[in-house]
Amino acid sequence: MDTHELVANTARDKPEHAAEWSVGHGKIILLGEHSVVYGRHAVAAPLPFAIRALASDGANGIALSIPGWGVERRIPARAPQQQPAQDVVARLLRLITERLGLTGQDLRIRVDAGIPRGMGVGGSAALAVAIIRALGRHRGLQLSDEQVCALAFECEKIAHGTPSGIDNTVATYGHALLYRAGTPPEIERIVLDRPPPLVLGLCHHPGLTVETVAKVRRAWTEQCALHERVFDAMDAIALAGLNALRGHDWKRLGALMNMCQGQLESLGVSSDELDDMIRIARRHGAVGAKLTGGGGGGAMIALCPDGREPVIEALSGAGYDALEIRLR
The residues annotated as belonging to the active site are 167
Give the per-residue SS3 of the chain: CCHHHHHHHHHCCCCCCHHHCEEEEEEEEEECCCHHHHCCEEEEEEEEEEEEEEEEECCCCEEEEEHHHCEEEEECCCCCCCCCCCCHHHHHHHHHHHHCCCCCCCEEEEEEECCCCCCCCCHHHHHHHHHHHHHHHHCCCCCCHHHHHHHHHHHHHHHHCCCCCHHHHHHHHCCCEEEECCCCCEEEECCCCCCCCEEEEECCCCCCHHHHHHHHHHHHHHCHHHHHHHHHHHHHHHHHHHHHHHCCCHHHHHHHHHHHHHHHHHCCCCCHHHHHHHHHHHHCCCCEEEEECCCCCCEEEEECCCCCHHHHHHHHHCCCEEEEECCC
Which residue type is seen at 59?
A
CA distance 139 to 100: 9
Give the number of other Cβ atoms within 10 Å of residue 190's Cβ. 18
Spatial CB neighbours of 96, under 8 Å, sequence gap ≥ 6: 102, 128, 131, 132, 135, 151, 155
Instruction: Quote the CA–CA distance of 180 and 216 in Å, as a whole number.
Output: 18
